[in-house]
């Protein structure tokens, strides 16, 4: 890459070679930024260029890329977001996972748009960014500490108040290379899909630390940015669906999920959960002592620290869970104790485990235990009955430390269930690529089951905009295979583009047009919605090409038997996606411009998005 003169970007990548203990800077050329923007896009380009086939996820030659984007550190709400891009252990393919908090902004304030980490240290270290400089520090004294404790320990070590330093690192799970280990930071923010923390652990990198720097993010049109930032906030507040998230966070969809048939209950054995109302923020907040815990530059009111006032967990302090955490540690495991769910959500983050995989894993274990397929002897004396919070807490610790039965579970739902075999294997929820869904029952949400199964990153990549008609689409019948697959293909790239920007999706929950206007105000570009969607689709095809070269084929693009089963009750009762699946894939592949037999993007598709190198590599 050559020197960048692109306004709106710091123009520099920080290169860290842990094997050699060397740190260097590299400039980013302006054409790369226009083509891939930042965040996930920049990370995907670096991953493809630098991690050839044959490099496994735990190989020192694998790259761990942490990137912000053009909106990072600006006055747009929630602009402290990072994208983490790497080759992950759950699918053995690419991943892109986002986390909010402060790191993205502080990275930019130290003069960098991204960090590219390679190699592996010979002992535990952490990377420290301060005053526009970077250094590797010994982290041996942090071994075994959880992701909250290292925040406090490092803040004290560098002599800064907690909010003046952002610490994103791994807990025991990452150190022990649990396949679904996460990278967690700023006490409650997690980039976890596809085992990012396991990759970090394989490099013996305990944390990435950024002290708030003095460098500003250059904005080409400050007044225009101020205007569009205000319009985005007002649009969010004016829309009833978005306003719920603004005031209360994603937990407010809990009852709607139950009513819609997509709240996951007891490992997909039912869709009925009468206690759903108690998990709604509007109902539970009065039970706790609460303290705001916002991300960088965010005025939304959905993150708080909660203190349990009474009961066996009295005095416990934890971050307010979002919907997927409430789902994992509430309905998925058959737990109706809100305080217990709060404890488990925070235990998961502190240990450095990815929440969704952990929830599906415990739900599967409980399902098997209740059916007599697992005994107490197998589960190391833990009674894994539905809703047993303390047994779950103990099992999570065993998983993070690869202790006893936890060592098998540390491989994740797919691999553990396949190793056990028999009837137990039929109860596990996963895609055949190896990843698990988000915290929904996708049998009532076909859009996400298809998107999760065909994803290149181990999590969803599409998603209908707030106003689908803005890009010429409509949502249609959620149980029509043809309409669902058409919508997935049509919106593919929308979320990926947002993940290039360095900003929280819920802080830009509006039409795509003002988000693009914000990018133009920062950079001076003349991008429009069509180009933004093309950027997203370019990255999707680039990640697809990476996976094809690394042996991740279309054969795994299907749900496990339990994941794709027919609901026996609830609003989606009797809906059978399996009979539609092959036709959905046929339509999706055709619309994406991919070869149905090999899964490869067709030559014309690669040419359309300017992916000449990938055309040569694949064809």
Other C-beta atoms lying within 10 Å of the C-beta of residue 537: 22
What phi and psi, each to the nearest 5 degrees, are found at residue 591? -70, -30
Say if residue 335 is in the same domain as residue 409.
Answer: yes
pLDDT for 5: 62
Name the domain boundary from 192, 211, 230: 211
Instruction: Check pLDDT > 90 for residue 176.
Output: yes
pLDDT for 216: 85
pLDDT for 314: 97
CATH, residue 446:
1.10.599.10
What phi and psi, each to the nearest 5 degrees, are found at residue 290? -120, 150
- Return the structure tokens found at 56: 């496994």
What are the tens digits of pLDDT across the range 105-152?
Answer: 999 999 999 999 999 999 999 999 999 999 999 999 999 999 999 999
How far apart (Å, rounded) are the C-alpha atoms in residues 145 and 438?
A: 27
Say if residue 374 is in the same domain as residue 450.
Answer: no
**First and final CA of the chain: distance in angstroms?**
26
How far apart (Å, rounded) are the C-alpha atoms in residues 567 and 306?
A: 35
pLDDT, mean over the chain:
96
Mean pLDDT on 77-91: 98
Does 221 reside within a domain?
A: no
Say if residue 379 is in the same domain as residue 449.
Answer: no
Does 490 reside within a domain?
A: yes
Q: What is the pTM of this model?
A: 0.97
Beta bridge partners of 82: 99
What are the tens digits of pLDDT across the range 211-260?
Answer: 998 888 999 999 999 999 999 999 999 999 899 999 999 999 999 999 99
What phi and psi, each to the nearest 5 degrees, are found at residue 562? -70, -40
Q: Which of 37-51, 369-383, 503-517 has the lowest mean pLDDT?
A: 503-517
Q: Structural domain of residue 394, as residue ranges?
A: 249-425
Mean pLDDT on 386-402: 98
Mean pLDDT on 184-197: 97
Instruction: Check pLDDT > 80 for residue 466.
Output: no
Say if residue 534 is in the same domain as residue 450.
Answer: yes
- Return the structure tokens found at 511: 């039409």
What phi and psi, each to the nearest 5 degrees, are found at residue 451? -65, -40
The total domain count for the chain is 3
Q: Give me the helices (H) in 298-432, please.
A: 323-329, 338-351, 355-370, 389-400, 405-409, 413-420, 422-425
Q: Which of 245-249, 591-595, 604-608 has the lowest mean pLDDT?
A: 245-249
């930042």: which residue's tokens? 38
pLDDT for 470: 82
Name the domain boundary from 390, 425, 460: 425
What are the tens digits of pLDDT across the range 413-425?
Answer: 999 999 999 999 9
What phi and psi, each to the nearest 5 degrees, are found at residue 573? -55, 130
| Bridge-based pairing state of the strands 114-118 and 12-17 | parallel
What are the tens digits of pLDDT across the range 431-447?
Answer: 999 999 999 999 999 99
Instruction: Check pLDDT > 60 for residue 2.
Output: no
Mean pLDDT on 604-610: 98
């036709």: which residue's tokens? 583
CATH, residue 378:
1.10.569.10
CA distances to 167, 450, 586 from 603, rounded to whole Å, are 43, 24, 18
């Amino acid at each position: 890459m050559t020197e960048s003169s692109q306004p709106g970007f710091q123009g520099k990548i920080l290169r860290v070679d842990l094997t050699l203990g060397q740190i260097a800077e590299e400039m980013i050329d302006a054409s790369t930024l226009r083509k891939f923007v930042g965040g996930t896009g920049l990370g995907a380009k670096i991953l493809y260029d630098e991690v050839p086939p044959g490099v496994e996820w735990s190989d020192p030659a694998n790259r761990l890329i942490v990137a912000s984007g053009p909106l990072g550190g600006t006055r747009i709400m929630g602009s402290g977001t990072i994208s983490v891009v790497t080759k992950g252990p759950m699918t053995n393919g690419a991943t892109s996972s986002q986390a909010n908090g402060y790191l993205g902004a502080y990275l930019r304030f130290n003069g960098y748009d991204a960090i590219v980490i390679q190699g592996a240290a010979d002992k535990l270290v952490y990377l420290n960014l301060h005053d526009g400089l970077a250094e590797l520090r010994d982290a041996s004294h942090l071994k075994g500490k959880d992701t909250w404790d290292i925040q406090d320990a490092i803040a004290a070590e560098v002599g800064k108040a907690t909010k003046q330093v952002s610490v994103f690192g791994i807990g025991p799970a990452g150190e022990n290379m649990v396949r679904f280990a996460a990278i967690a930071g700023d006490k409650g923010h997690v980039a976890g899909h596809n085992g990012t923390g396991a990759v970090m652990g394989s490099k013996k990198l305990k944390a990435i630390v950024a002290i708030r720097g003095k460098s500003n993010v250059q904005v080409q049109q400050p007044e225009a940015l101020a205007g569009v930032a205000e319009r985005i906030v007002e649009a969010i507040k004016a829309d009833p669906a978005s306003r719920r998230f603004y005031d209360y966070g994603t937990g407010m969809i809990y009852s709607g999920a139950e009513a819609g048939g997509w709240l996951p209950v007891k490992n997909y054995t039912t869709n009925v959960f009468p206690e759903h109302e108690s998990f709604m923020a509007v109902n539970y907040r009065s039970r706790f002592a609460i303290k705001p815990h916002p991300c960088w530059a965010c005025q939304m009111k959905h993150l708080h620290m909660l203190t349990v006032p009474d009961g066996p967990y009295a005095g416990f302090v934890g971050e307010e869970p979002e919907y997927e955490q409430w789902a994992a540690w509430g309905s998925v495991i058959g737990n109706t104790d809100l305080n217990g769910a709060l404890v488990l959500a925070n235990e998961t983050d502190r240990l450095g485990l990815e929440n969704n995989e952990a929830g599906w894993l415990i739900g599967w274990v409980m399902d098997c235990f209740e059916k007599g397929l697992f005994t107490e002897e197998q589960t190391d004396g833990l009674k894994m009955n539905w809703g047993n919070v303390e047994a779950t807490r103990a099992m999570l610790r065993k998983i993070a430390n690869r202790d006893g039965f936890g060592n098998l579970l540390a491989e994740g739902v797919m691999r553990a269930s396949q190793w056990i075999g028999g009837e137990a294997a039929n109860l596990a929820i996963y895609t055949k690529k190896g990843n698990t869904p988000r915290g929904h029952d996708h049998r009532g949400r076909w859009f996400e089951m298809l998107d999760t199964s065909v994803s290149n990153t181990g999590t969803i990549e599409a998603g209908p905009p707030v106003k689908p008609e803005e890009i010429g689409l409509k949502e249609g019948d959620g149980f029509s295979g043809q309409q669902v697959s058409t919508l997935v293909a049509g919106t593919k790239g929308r979320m990926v583009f947002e993940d290039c920007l360095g900003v929280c999706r819920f802080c830009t929950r509006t039409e795509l047009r003002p988000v693009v206007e914000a990018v133009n105000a920062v950079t001076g570009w003349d991008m429009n919605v069509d180009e933004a969607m093309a950027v997203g689709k370019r990255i999707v095809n680039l990640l697809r090409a990476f996976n094809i070269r690394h042996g991740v084929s279309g054969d795994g693009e299907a749900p496990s038997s339990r994941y794709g089963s027919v609901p026996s009750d609830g609003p989606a009762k009797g809906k059978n996606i399996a009979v539609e699946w092959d036709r959905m894939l046929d339509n999706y592949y055709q619309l994406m411009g991919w070869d149905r037999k090999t899964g490869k993007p067709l030559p014309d598709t690669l040419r359309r998005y300017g992916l000449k190198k990938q055309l040569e590599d694949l064809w």
